[in-house]
Amino acid sequence: MKQYLVFLSFLASFYFGTTALAKGFAVIGDTQRTLGVERIFLGRKQNDSQRERIVQALADAKPSYVVHLGDMVDWGGSGNAWDYYFDLMAPILQNQIPVHHVLGNHEYFGMTDAKARRKLKEIIPDLGDVTWRSIQKGPLLLILLNSNRSKLSKSEWKAQATWFQKTLQECDLDPSVQAALVFSHHPPYSNSKTVGDEEDVIDFFVPAFQSSKKALAYFSGHAHGYEHFLKKGRHFVVSGGGGGPRTKYHEGSKRKHEDLFKGPTPRPFHFLMLHPGANAIDVEVHGFYEKEEVGVLDRFTIPWSP
Confidence of residue 2 (pLDDT cuts 50, 70, 90): low
Confidence of residue 129 (pLDDT cuts 50, 70, 90): confident
Task: List C-alpha distances in Å: 101 to 122, 193, 203, 280, 293.
Answer: 13, 26, 23, 25, 27
Instruction: Return the DSSP state at 61.
Output: T
Helix and strand element counts for the chain (H, E):
9, 12
- Beta strands at 234-239 and 226-231: parallel, antiparallel or unpaired: antiparallel
Please state, as a whole number, how many other Cβ atoms lie within 10 Å of the Cβ of residue 292: 9
What is the reported pLDDT for 61? 96
What is this structure's pTM?
A: 0.92
Residue 219 has pLDDT above 60, yes or no: yes
What is the reported pLDDT for 306? 67
End-to-end CA distance of the chain: 44
Residue 207 identity (one-letter amino acid) = P
SS3 95: coil
Which are the contacts of 145, defined by CB distance < 8 A and separation ≥ 6?
A: 102, 132, 160, 164, 182, 183, 184, 205
Q: Please state, in angstroms and rounded to a whole number, the distance separating the CA atoms of residues 152 and 158.
A: 9
What is the reported pLDDT for 83? 97
- Taking only the tens place, the pLDDT of each residue in 157-185 is 999 999 999 999 999 999 999 999 999 99
Q: Please state, in angstroms and rounded to a whole number, the distance separating the CA atoms of residues 285 and 272.
A: 5
Confidence of residue 154 (pLDDT cuts 50, 70, 90): very high
Confidence of residue 151 (pLDDT cuts 50, 70, 90): very high
In this structure, what are the phi and psi dihedrals at residue 48, rounded to the nearest 5 degrees? -60, -50
- Taking only the tens place, the pLDDT of each residue in 28-70 is 999 999 999 999 988 899 999 999 999 999 999 999 999 999 9
Query: What is 2-303's CATH topology?
Result: Purple Acid Phosphatase; chain A, domain 2 (3.60.21)
Q: Please state, in angstroms and rounded to a whole number, the distance separating the CA atoms of residues 194 and 250.
A: 10
Residue 78 identity (one-letter amino acid) = S
